[in-house]
Amino acid sequence: MRWYTCTPIAFRGGGEFFTRDSGLVCRGLQLIGVESRAVMPGERQEQDHADLIRTEFRNLESADWWRSHELDGVVLYAWGSPQYRKVAAAIQRAGIFLLLNQDNGGLISPLAGVRDWLREQWIHTGQGRGAPAWARCGLRVFRGVSVGLFLTDPRRAAHLRHGDVIACVSPKAAEYYRKVCRYYGGADLASRVEVVPHAVESRFRFADGPKRRQVACVGRWQDVVQKRPRLLMETVGLLVAADAGVEVVIAGQVTVELDEWHRSLAESSRRRVKLRGLVERSELAGILGESQVFFSPSAFESFGIAAAEALCSGCSVVAGRSVSMASFEWFVGDDSGTLADADDAAGHQRALKQELTYWEQGRRDAGEIAGVWGERLHAERVAAKILSLQDAYAARRKGILNFEF
């Protein structure tokens, strides 16, 4: 078999590209014996791996170009964006099975659910207070119910119709997508929506051994709106002050604010909070492998790859309960985490305390957590699910044709 993955944006094509998203799915397909390469536009770069194809963007919109590669399937990472509809159309015209990856939480339109969609608009303004925040939120809502409903949504639907499978990264996102697809394409389009999570590298796994009473946090802490470093600092400060036996490891760029906060902690707390800065992937795997709990203070995540890596490493997960954290509702199932009852430092600290208590009581098992989520998320398992969806689609089409005959 021959499957390619494609993203229509000219990212760097070195080793980092192949640790996530379309690059990692390409690797997963290779692991299960499928001939696979990744495709991106642009000029070839020095760091590009040999199994990356660079081409002119116009070729991505050419059915003849895709047909020339004699492919069984393509996984397209184009977010259902209207501007990349012609890429999806070209792959479909070439007669290639097309899986459209949707890297978001599913609230792409008011049609996905008005109440949840409105809540997400407020969250994406930064949850500020006062007239500017309400004005920004109002502008987002106005765009969504005007340009969004009457221009963007129909064009997105046209893109989605080219796909054989519309792959959402979590069950909740798939639920939202089915509502939108049912509106624009009836039961047929809605039936193409499937859950295909983002892949996780196989290095993130649990090797038998003791877990430390340790909480791991990973993020781009310079992104104050999404990653919420202020909430991180307040929550961790409460936790280490109340629990003299817990340690916290924070990975990611150390900002001025993080450094000043860390130096302001009491000596007994500061010794147990480690700012590791930017870490290599192997070092991150070690941190997650020895930690009991992973904590995400994010306001929103399309998926949460760091949390997924933690689950495969045998950590349980703590995060806020929010419509904009759709994957985390899934992540905490199967005795693998807790969502905070209130989206503030006290609420997140209570959730962390509860998870640490569950570990102490033997109600969390690293091997079980890693086993369940590794089967779902490791790259070779995601690749195998993609192939199974192709088989299921072919069987369904055969059944339809036989029935029509």
Percent over 70 (pLDDT), the chain: 96
With bands split at pLDDT 50, 70 and 90, how would you rate the model's confidence at 34? very high
Report the share of the chain in percent with pLDDT over 90: 92
**Interval 194-217 mean pLDDT:** 96
| Mean of the per-residue pLDDT values of the chain | 95
Q: Looking at the chain, how many residues does it have?
A: 405
When comparing pLDDT for 315 and 126, which is higher? 315
pLDDT band, residue 403 (cuts 50/70/90): very low
**Which residues make Cβ contacts (< 8 Å) with residue 296, sequence separation at least 6?**
217, 219, 304, 306, 307, 317, 318, 319, 320, 325, 328
Cα–Cα distance for residue pair 251/20, rounded to 1 Å: 18
Residue 231 banded pLDDT, cuts 50, 70, 90:
very high
Q: Are 216 and 294 in contact (CB under 8 A)?
A: yes
Query: Does residue 295 contact residue 310 with C-beta atoms inside 8 Å?
Result: no
Give pLDDT, residue 131: 59
**Is the pLDDT assigned to residue 369 strictly greater than 90?**
yes
Is the four-CA dihedral 384, 389, 390, 394 of positive or negative sign?
positive
- pTM score of the predicted model: 0.94
* Position with higher pLDDT, 111 vs 209: 111
Query: What pLDDT score does 132 carry?
Result: 80
What confidence tens digit (pLDDT) does each residue in 37-91 have? 999 999 999 999 999 999 999 999 999 999 999 999 999 999 999 999 999 999 9
Over 80: is that where the pLDDT of 404 sits?
A: no
Q: Which residues contact 186 (CB under 8 A, 6 or more apart)?
A: none
Distances in whole angstroms, Cα of residue 54 to Cα of each of 26, 99, 300, 358, 382: 15, 20, 32, 49, 24
Q: Residue 76 to residues 23, 48, 99, 206: CA-CA distances in angstroms?
A: 11, 19, 6, 31
Instruction: Please report which confidence band the pLDDT of residue 209 belongs to, taking 50, 70 and 90 as the band edges.
Output: confident
Q: Is 309 exposed, middle or buried (0-12, 13-18, 19+ CB in 10 A)?
A: buried
What are the pLDDT digits (tens) for 282-308? 999 999 999 999 999 999 999 999 999
Query: Which has the closest alpha carbon to 223: 253, 187, 264, 189?
Result: 253
> Of 208 and 50, which is predicted with more confidence?
50
CB of 167 closer than 8 Å to CB of 99: yes
| pLDDT in the model for residue 400 | 56
* Lowest mean pLDDT, pick from 107-121, 360-374, 389-403: 389-403
The answer to whether 168 and 177 have CB atoms below 8 angstroms apart is yes
The predicted pLDDT at position 405 comes to 42
pLDDT value, residue 216: 98
CB 286 within 8 A of CB 312: no
